[in-house]
Amino acid sequence: MKKTFISAIQEIKKIDNNTSLNNFQSKYLGKNSILYFYFSKLTTLNISERIQCSTILNNFKKKIKNKINDKKIELKDNRLINQKNKYFIDYTLPGRKIECGSLHPITIVIQEIKKIFSYLGFNTYYGPELESTYYNFDALNIPHNHPARNISDTFWLNSNYVLRTQTSGMQIRILEKNPGPIRAIIPGKVYRRDYDHTHTPMFHQIEGLIVDTSISFANLKWILENFIIQILKKNTKIRFRSSYFPFTCPSAEMDIQDKNGNWLEVLGCGMVHPNVLKNCNIDRDIYSACAFGIGVERLAMLKYSVSDIRCFFENDIRFLKQFV
């Protein structure tokens, strides 16, 4: 056994990985090992010989186990040293700056608008961007010869569905389920075939709808004037221009004067057309309604002094960093 132990010591010194160490353990301590073979022969010896031999074998077994445990610790230490050398960290180097992200300016404005109207008791609704012609045109009193139905103005999927041209279609969906009173805003993306420094094929709009007894244009005007002051956080020159929308009567557009004295349209509004209320079975003898549609990008341009609406969608990191 002495020669076997010396041979084992020489062998374990050369081991440099866990696989070889496991093979070594199986060779000297496993069921097919030399040690196990000698233990199986103890039953053939007499009592005195058995005691003497078992003591020698157990001592051998104990020493081999100790050597294996020492080798495991050695291999672990070597592995940690190698990892440390491989992934060496130079603590004298300057730290790396972590860039802070932020919300997109359009998202910021939408959240601010929702917050302002929530204080006035408005609930937020969302609708489908792929809209049927009934909700996008017919129920809103838009005639078949209206320019908005032209393929040059609207993205048509087929003869029955379009990418919605305004969020006004959700007015009908809400009115069908809620006869009144109603205070609702509907934010979302809308699509039109237009592209220049003040228009994009996709933009954001927030539709507002109020249905109640004795609602007048004066109520609508007060709400929108106070909204503009809160969203822009300053007194701004505002004007209402008479306009035409098939789904409101009377109708108006609201303009804001920029720092250069130019007027910029930011929303359209008006009293909901009687035909629209009729399509939704709203009792016009009890309720009246007003609605408005806010162009989010237009407000963002005024709020952040942006001259080109396309900057919001070009993902230029230099532009977006201004809002961190």
For residues 71 and 176, state if they share a domain: no
> How confident is residue 97, by pLDDT bands cut at 50, 70 and 90?
confident
Neighbour tally for 172: CB within 10 Å: 20
What phi and psi, each to the nearest 5 degrees, are found at residue 133? -65, -25
73 domain-assigned: yes
286 domain-assigned: yes
For residues 79 and 220, state if they share a domain: no
Residue 68 has pLDDT above 90, yes or no: no
For residues 218 and 144, state if they share a domain: yes
CATH number of the domain enclosing 109:
3.30.930.10
For residues 60 and 115, state if they share a domain: no
Question: What pLDDT was estimated at residue 324?
Answer: 72
* Mean pLDDT of the chain, nearest integer: 82
At 261 the three-state DSSP class reads coil
Range of the domain at 8: 2-86
Q: What are the tens digits of pLDDT across the range 126-180?
A: 989 999 999 888 888 888 888 888 888 889 998 889 999 989 889 888 888 887 7
92 domain-assigned: no
Q: What are the tens digits of pLDDT across the range 1-51?
A: 555 656 666 666 667 777 776 776 776 666 666 666 666 666 676 777 766
| Number of structural domains in the chain | 2
Residue 237 has pLDDT above 70, yes or no: yes
Mean pLDDT value across residues 116-133: 91
DSSP state letters, 89-150: --TTSPPPPPPPP---HHHHHHHHHHHHHHHTTPEE----SEEEHHHHTGGGT--TT-GGGS
What is the rounded CA–CA span in Å between residue 269 and residue 238? 14
309 domain-assigned: yes
For residues 319 and 210, state if they share a domain: yes
Domain boundary among 28, 55, 86: 86
What is the rounded CA–CA span in Å between residue 171 and residue 189? 15
